[in-house]
Amino acid sequence: MQFSDLHIHSAYSDGLMWPREIAEMASQNNIKCISITDHDTIDSQYKINELSGQFGINIIPGIELSTEYNDIELHLLGYFINIHNAELQQVLSSIKDSREKRIKDIILKLNNLDIDISYSDIIHEGSTLGRPHIAKILVSKGYVSSTKEAFTQYLTKGKPAYVDRYKIYYKDALKLINSCNGISVLAHPGEIKKGIHLKETVKELKVYGLNGIEVFHPAHSSKQVNDYYNLSKKYSLVISGGSDYHGSHNNTVSTIGTYGLDENLTNKFLKLNFFNR
């Protein structure tokens, strides 16, 4: 197990566990520091101080933003963010509205395919609704045998129920994280669409405020970890890492703490907290 796990998702977005359950699991796994980085929402963040005290672990405020970069989707992690920042709350409210509209449009397409599903089926599934919530309902209603089948048959680009969604522009996302006194990290570069020149992308992102790279992630091979580590050092970027844990339906091999940072890298990361700068 690692000393810290800085990439975890709760039921407020597309994970299975609530923040209290995550904190309890981290404590049981002897993880000293975590961050809950839900997609485009900070609803999981409001009780982290309470949970940190109860379970004796350091919980860093976090978020994962889906961004648009040259027609490619990039995910940016924001750490140490001020969750009370008015601009952040306004942007996330707009993203939430756009996500809800997208869900309704997907449901309409599914209805036109004679699939009986409604918005009320998923409205209580989380703060940030997405395609995984629809996939879950499709499985529960017997239309598909797995969430993977739901995506491959209906929900991926080019399939009959796919609807594109709004994503914040990457420059705006980096600026937003910075305005919240946060640290921005490029999430799981190994999962970025093939064909992108990562070195040039990182150089450009750094110009607009990127602070780090997620080096350690379950999707990264040993070679990729080495490459991303060296890339971080080359451009003086902070090194981050985490399990990207969603729950048993998503990551069956890794659990909280199986990927992340050792104590030395964690301490270096923690020194970047705005209040300590």
Spans of all domains in the chain: 4-86+182-276
pTM score over 0.85: yes
Q: Name the more confident of 122 and 32.
A: 32
Average pLDDT over residues 74-94: 96
Position 253 confidence tier, pLDDT thresholds 50, 70, 90: low
Q: What is the pLDDT of residue 14?
A: 87
> Is it the case that residue 250 has pLDDT exceeding 70?
no
The torsion of the CA quartet 259, 176, 174, 229, rounded to 10 degrees, works out to: -20
> For 209, left (φ over 0), alpha (ψ -120 to 50), or beta?
left
> Is it the case that residue 268 has pLDDT exceeding 90?
yes
Chain centroid to CA 164: 18
Average pLDDT over residues 265-273: 93
Q: Name the more confident of 166 and 252.
A: 166
Distance CA 121, CA 136 (A): 10
Contacts of 127 (CB under 8 A, 6+ apart): 12, 13, 38, 41, 43, 96
Q: Which CATH number fits domain 4-86+182-276: 1.10.3720.10, 1.20.1250.20, 3.30.470.10, 3.20.20.140?
A: 3.20.20.140
pLDDT tens profile 180-217: 999 999 999 999 876 678 999 999 999 999 999 999 99
| 170, 69 contact by CB (below 8 A) | yes
Q: What is the pLDDT of residue 195?
A: 61
Q: What is the pLDDT of residue 241?
A: 98
